[in-house]
A and B are shown apart, each in its own frame.
Chain A
Amino acid sequence: MGKYVVRRIIAMIITLWFVCTITFFLMHSIPGGPFTREKELPEAVLQALNEKYHLNDPLWKQYVDYMKGIVVFDLGPSFSRPGATVNQFIEDGFPVSAKLGGVSVLAVIILGIPLGIISALKQNRWEDYVVTVLATVGVAVPGFVIGTTVIYIFSAKLGWLPAYGLTSWKHYIGPVLALSGFSLAFVARLTRSSMLEVLQQDYIRTARAKGLAEGVVIYKHALKNALIPVITYMGPMIAAIMTGSFVTEKIFAIPGMGKYFVEAVGNRDYTLIMGATVFYAAFSIVMIFIVDILYGVIDPRIKLED
């Protein structure tokens, strides 16, 4: 186990370095530099700006400086808002996004997994059909459609839910639905098919032959095995929910990191885009690492591989 963790941490550092490097060189390959806009700036101002942000330094020096900054978690100044740093955007936006994302992940786990189990246990009965239809539609509807539909029906037409912001529990319903809809449906489908497959396994027959009660067979013997593929999906799910926040926060006007990121893309605020990308990537790499450790705890066979 210890060796495995060390190996994974090394892989994580390599991945992060890879991410930072690619991001840096991609952003610096944009022709014309960050201050080339429709409205042309006077030469002197441009020079001053380039000087201020060290854009006149040779590329390798800029790269080394940037990497040095990342090590101490200093992502540099924002180009679009003078005086603001990328760190400030993250400090402002991330807690909001994390709260929303956390609630969404919880929603997926608390609703998606039980729905999948019910569906599998009631195979070919009405409960199964309801869950299957909902889940099939759920993976076909993009988050922005769910979000806008919720606003239209529950905010505009019925007036039950607030449309903007994130201050009361009612504010969470729409954004969480938009953010978790796809993953919830996907997890319900995955749990269902995984559960059905596990219930066909020989060891379930063994458990029944031992005279165990059906509840023990299902919740002790089948569920733990059925959850293994669901846990594998947790990594991609975190990425999906994170990137889903780009549209959700835009629709519901929530001042989170997703909204800042989309605005940065619109404003061509290169340092903010770069910083947010590095931050998002690092966050998701760490989350996937945690999921993998969790995976090793549930499935004893994993430890053997290292």
Chain B
Amino acid sequence: MAENAKISPQQWERVPAEKLEKEKISRPSLTYWQDAWRRLKKNHLSMLGLVAIILLTILAIFGPMMSQFDYSDQDLTMSNLPSKLEYYQVSEDSYIYLHKEYRLYSLTKKGEVLEKLPEAKNDMINKFRSYEIDGKEVVVDYSFAAAAIKSGDPNAKKFEIRIDGEAVQPMGKVWNKTYIFGTDHLGRDLYVRVLYGARISLLVGLIATVIQFFIGVTYGGISGYTGGRVDNIMMRIVDIIATIPLLLYVILLMVVMGAGLKTIIIALGSVYWVTMARIVRGQVLSIKEQEYVLAARTIGASTWRIMARHLIPNAMGSIIVALAMNIPSAIFTEAFLSFIGLGVSAPMASWGTLANDALGGLRTYAYQLFYPSIFIAVTVLAFNFLGDGLRDALDPRLRK
């Protein structure tokens, strides 16, 4: 036992109890909501979603104010202008854009659209238009178009621009500074309309969800709390409703009440509360068996008090998750309804109506579909991310 020598007497001394205590790592105790928030913050995708939703909300509220246009301003001379303009140079300071309908617009170098140029001559038989710009003769010859379409080749040459008899090539592309998302077929600014659509979509998502929340929580709460025969009957009714494709009823309600923003909100809110009712009932059933509810009852708390103070707050986690998950589906449904023509009425715009409006000119003016589509997808994605994160953060099973 050579080791023996190495052990000094002081090593055999007892460790004082306080020192041992210190070595224990204690975790600060957090409330349920603090803990949930801490977990949510750690979920990068959720935070990204949350930031996107906040940005979108700010943009929806203040964006339209920043613009010189209103959502209903029409300017037929400015119709179907894309967000990216292919431009030609006429002289030092003079730039033009050729519209898909073979009209010329004057531009600044930065990409601001100045005006639709008046044509000097419009020969519809020989298919050309001529303009006079800065003393030069600019000819738009679109006589190739018919043959190009016939050939079926999407890249075939359709037109030619000649300045003083000489064919010119485009200088490049510039972002449309006047209408950054372009304009629609009535010359309305799409940027303002898309942001206006964001208002409608977020509003519908939010209010419809709140209505569902109240109906669902009340129905599920009563059913779960009362229990017995009442619960049985109430849940049978829910079962029956759940087997019907609810979108049909939303459509019926829209037909009955007439299209419009208010109708959409009422229809969505009054039909889709079934899931919420089921969740709340399940939660209430399990919570009402807990000791603390019994304790509250023994000291004479009223039913309403028990519901408001104990049941609802404890079921809140699952309810919030269900709410977050419902918002994107409400937004989806609104877009869907608007797309089939049951949405907000013109000139109001929602993303669904914008997409529907764009459908006719899809082949030529795809950008009109692109912006509302991107906005729907990003918004729904953001809510899904947030919802997933909330579910992980609020699920007590995962709590460490």
- Over the window 197-219 of chain B, the binary record of Cβ atoms lying under 8 Å from chain A Cβ atoms (1 yes, 0 no) is 00000000000000000000000
A262 touches B341 (CB 8 A): yes
A136 touches B384 (CB 8 A): yes
CA distance A158 to B363 in the complex (A): 11
Interface size class of B (residues with CB under 8 A): 35 or more
Residue A109 CB within 8 A of the other chain: no
- Over the window 276-296 of chain A, the binary record of Cβ atoms lying under 8 Å from chain B Cβ atoms (1 yes, 0 no) is 010011001100100000000
- Over the window 361-400 of chain B, the binary record of Cβ atoms lying under 8 Å from chain A Cβ atoms (1 yes, 0 no) is 0110010010001001110110010000000000000000
CA distance A140 to B373 in the complex (A): 10
Question: How many positions in chain A have a CB within 8 Å of any CB in the partner chain?
Answer: 48
Q: What residue in chain B is nearest A282 (Cβ atoms)?
A: B244
A145 touches B377 (CB 8 A): yes
List B contacts of A27 (CB < 8 A): 252, 255-256
CA distance A18 to B335 in the complex (A): 28
List A contacts of B341 (CB < 8 A): 262, 265-266
Residue A56 CB within 8 A of the other chain: no
Stretch touching chain B among A115-123, A198-206, A245-253, A297-305: A245-253
A273 touches B363 (CB 8 A): no
Summed over the interface, the residue pairs from A and B with CB atoms below 8 Å come to a total of 118
CA distance A136 to B380 in the complex (A): 10
A145 touches B376 (CB 8 A): yes
List B contacts of A124 (CB < 8 A): none
A151 touches B239 (CB 8 A): no
- Chain B binding surface, main DSSP class: helix
Q: What residue in chain B is nearest A139 (Cβ atoms)?
A: B384
List B contacts of A247 (CB < 8 A): 336, 339-340
A15 touches B240 (CB 8 A): yes
List B contacts of A70 (CB < 8 A): none
List A contacts of B171 (CB < 8 A): none
List A contacts of B340 (CB < 8 A): 246-247, 250, 262, 265
Residue A165 CB within 8 A of the other chain: no
CA distance A139 to B244 in the complex (A): 22
A273 touches B255 (CB 8 A): yes
Given A29-B256, A243-B247, the answer on whether A152 and B342 have CB atoms closer than 8 Å is no
- Over the window 10-29 of chain A, the binary record of Cβ atoms lying under 8 Å from chain B Cβ atoms (1 yes, 0 no) is 01101100110011001101
A18 touches B240 (CB 8 A): yes
B366 touches A152 (CB 8 A): yes
CA distance A152 to B359 in the complex (A): 10
List B contacts of A280 (CB < 8 A): 245, 248
List B contacts of A79 (CB < 8 A): none
B245 touches A284 (CB 8 A): yes
Q: How near does chain A come to B342, taking the closest CB pair, in angstroms?
A: 6
Residue A159 CB within 8 A of the other chain: yes
- Over the window 247-280 of chain A, the binary record of Cβ atoms lying under 8 Å from chain B Cβ atoms (1 yes, 0 no) is 1001100000000001001101000010001001
Residue A5 CB within 8 A of the other chain: no
Residue B31 CB within 8 A of the other chain: no
A284 touches B244 (CB 8 A): yes
Q: How near does chain A come to B183, taking the closest CB pair, in angstroms?
A: 19
Residue B251 CB within 8 A of the other chain: yes
A14 touches B240 (CB 8 A): yes
Q: How near does chain A come to B240, taking the closest CB pair, in angstroms?
A: 5
A140 touches B252 (CB 8 A): no
Residue B355 CB within 8 A of the other chain: yes
19 contacts between A and B (CB under 8 A): A15-B243, A15-B244, A27-B256, A30-B255, A140-B381, A140-B384, A141-B373, A141-B377, A142-B335, A144-B336, A144-B339, A152-B362, A152-B363, A152-B369, A243-B248, A246-B336, A265-B255, A268-B255, A281-B244
Of all A-B residue pairs in the complex, the 5 with the closest CB atoms, nearest first, are A239-B245, A140-B381, A140-B380, A145-B373, A156-B363
B residues sitting closer than 8 Å to A (CB atoms) are 152, 154, 239-240, 243-245, 247-249, 251-256, 328, 332, 335-336, 339-342, 352, 355, 358-359, 362-363, 366, 369, 373, 376-378, 380-381, 384
